[in-house]
Amino acid sequence: MGANTLIEIRSCTSSYGTQIYFSKGKFDSWCVYLKKDGNAQAPHDKSYFKALKELAAKYGEDVIYDKFVQIYEKTSVKCYANVVNYIEDLSQDLEEEDRELFWNTLTTLYFAMVAEENKKFTKLGKRIKRLGIHQILQEDLNISEAAQYSKGMKWRQIHDECVERGF
């Protein structure tokens, strides 16, 4: 296997013992779960928005947003081990105490964006996650508002909001 071989994955485990994986949800097999200390849960937007805000308070909104965008740009309909490894690499310039939170948050988001790309009949895909993260890190919208922002909106309106922001 060459160095550039892409290995598709449906789960991964961090060096901190956290497992992130796809499993069956209400609608499809793309529900994301985070399992730590034997407890599995499907994370919600508010939980990773909160973690991103915590990291941004320490390292700056632009730094954390840029790291997110690097993962966003590598996201497709398939989940790859090299992207998960890249998230680990991106954490290396953070203080050691923040690396686990960073890995858990960005890897969960990566899996969530892959899931969005695989939603049946999607017109927005991963852009829906980027909109919320852009709102909390670049526009200083509060977490609850960002998590609820697009609920009930037509896809075309959300699309226009994304285009207006350059993605």
**H helix or E strand, kind and range, residue 46:** helix 45-59
In sequence order, what are the residues at sequence separation of 6 or more whose Cβ sits closer than 8 angstroms to the Cβ of residue 103? 14, 16, 18, 87, 88, 91
pLDDT of residue 1: 45
Which pair of tokens denotes residue 159?
Answer: 């699309």
Q: What is the pTM of this model?
A: 0.94
Nearest to 128 by CA among 149, 106, 102, 99: 149
> Could you tell me if 77 and 110 are in contact, meaning their C-beta atoms sit under 8 angstroms apart?
no
pLDDT on residue 27: 78
Say whether pLDDT at 4 is over 80: no
pLDDT of the residue at 29: 86
Could you read off the pLDDT of 67-120 as tens digits, one per residue?
999 999 999 999 999 999 999 999 999 999 999 999 999 999 999 999 999 999
Q: In sequence order, what are the beta bridge partners of 39?
A: 36
Name which residue leads in pLDDT, 60 or 1. Answer: 60
- For residue 159, how far is the Cα from the chain centroid? 19
Residue 129 and residue 137: Cα distance in Å, rounded?
Answer: 12
- Give me Rg for the CA atoms of the chain: 15
Interhelix angle 127-138/45-59, nearest 10 degrees:
40
DSSP string for 57-81: HHH-HHHHHHHHHHHHHH--SS-BH
Percent of the chain with pLDDT over 70: 97
DSSP letter at 154 equals -
